[in-house]
């Protein structure tokens, strides 16, 4: 039977970073990252379907509106944080219309990142070796961080790009496209400059969306590469394998704590930047239109914010 330290010493650490085929469906190879991304999506649906059942609001019963259980309260707190601290400062009065998309992005990325921290592969190898499974070492390919693969991050960025433009057009109409040309064309000689600015603004939007994917990919991949380098020290240590192995396990545990923080941070950053990019095209035009019609926007009106509370009430 293989010991956990022997498994670490005999395996190639890079195998746990790169995508590996774990099974096939017909002629389609299913990688560990594709499997983990699908698993994360399923867990998000199951988790929030279950949480929804924990809250059964009834008219006139305040107690029924309270989340039951610590885990339910934790998830509710995270939802409120994303809505009030991430989305509302950027999306302002259209927050509640699009918060569902931001919640979905945040929790999907968070679940992908957290699942990637679980040692699913090594556990499967140990269990397989105990049960006498033939070629149990191949089970080590299971698991992994789905967001450490551009094949998942680029579709996330593409959806963000589409949402930025769709929400912009929905909230601002065709005037949304005015911000692609920030100058007013007063004569025919300015047309080439206007075309260049439109091209640069459109290219900038594509680049910003792509950077969302590259930032998430680079950060999640880097953490696992560092762990892979640590693990590779075990076979290189020779007869000192067990002493070095113990140090690597302790150091890897400390890095995993750091990766836990990074997993949450990257979900926050992706969601926060998406909210900012949406607001750049939708909120400013929306607020400008509101002011033209004499509407008051407390969160975006500097004059409103400058007034004392009694003056606001009087107003």
Each residue's pLDDT expressed in tens, for the chain with a length of 315 residues? 444 444 444 455 566 677 888 888 888 888 888 899 999 999 999 999 998 887 777 776 676 677 778 898 899 999 999 999 999 999 989 999 999 999 999 999 999 999 988 888 778 878 877 887 776 667 777 888 899 889 999 999 999 999 999 999 998 888 888 888 877 777 887 888 889 988 998 999 999 999 999 999 988 888 777 777 766 666 665 556 666 667 777 777 777 788 889 999 999 999 999 999 999 877 655 554 444 444 444 444 443 344 444 333 333
Is the Cβ–Cβ distance between 216 and 109 less than 8 Å? yes
Pairing type for strands 21-25 and 28-31 reads antiparallel
CB hemisphere CA count around 312 (13 angstroms): 13
Read off the pTM: 0.79
DSSP 136-168: GGGGGGS---GGGSHHHHHHHHHHHHHHHHHHH
What are 146's strand-pairing partners? Answer: none
The C-alpha atoms of residue 78 and residue 106 are separated, in whole angstroms, by: 10
Distance of alpha carbon 90 from alpha carbon 102, whole angstroms: 12
């Amino acid at each position: 039977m293989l010991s956990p330290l022997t498994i670490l010493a005999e395996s190639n650490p890079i195998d746990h970073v790169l995508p590996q085929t774990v099974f096939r469906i017909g002629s389609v190879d299913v990688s560990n990252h594709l499997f983990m991304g699908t698993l994360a999506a399923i867990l998000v649906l199951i988790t929030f379907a279950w949480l929804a059942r924990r809250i059964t609001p009834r008219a006139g019963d305040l107690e029924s509106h309270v989340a039951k259980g610590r885990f339910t309260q934790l998830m509710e707190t995270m939802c409120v944080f994303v809505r009030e601290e991430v989305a509302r400062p950027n999306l302002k009065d259209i927050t509640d219309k699009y918060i569902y998309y931001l919640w979905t992005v945040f929790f999907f990325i968070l679940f992908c990142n957290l699942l990637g921290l679980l040692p699913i592969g090594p556990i499967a190898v140990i269990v397989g070796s105990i049960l006498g499974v033939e070629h149990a070492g191949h089970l080590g390919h299971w698991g992994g961080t789905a967001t450490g693969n551009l094949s998942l991050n680029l579709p996330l960025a593409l959806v963000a790009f589409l949402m930025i433009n769709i929400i912009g057009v929905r909230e601002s109409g065709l005037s949304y496209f005015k911000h692609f040309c920030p100058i007013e064309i007063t004569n025919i000689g300015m047309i080439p400059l206007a075309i260049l600015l439109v091209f640069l603004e459109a290219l900038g939007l594509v680049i910003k969306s792509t950077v969302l994917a590259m930032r998430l990919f680079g950060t999640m991949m880097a953490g696992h590469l560092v762990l892979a380098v640590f693990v590779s020290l075990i076979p290189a240590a020779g007869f000192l394998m067990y002493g070095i192995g113990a140090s690597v396990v302790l150091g890897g545990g400390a890095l995993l704590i750091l990766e836990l923080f990074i997993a949450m941070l990257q979900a926050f950053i992706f969601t926060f930047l998406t909210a900012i990019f949406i607001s750049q095209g939708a909120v400013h035009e929306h607020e400008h239109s509101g002011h033209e019609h004499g509407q008051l926007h407390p969160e975006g009106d500097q004059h409103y914010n400058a007034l004392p509370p009694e003056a606001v009430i009087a107003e």
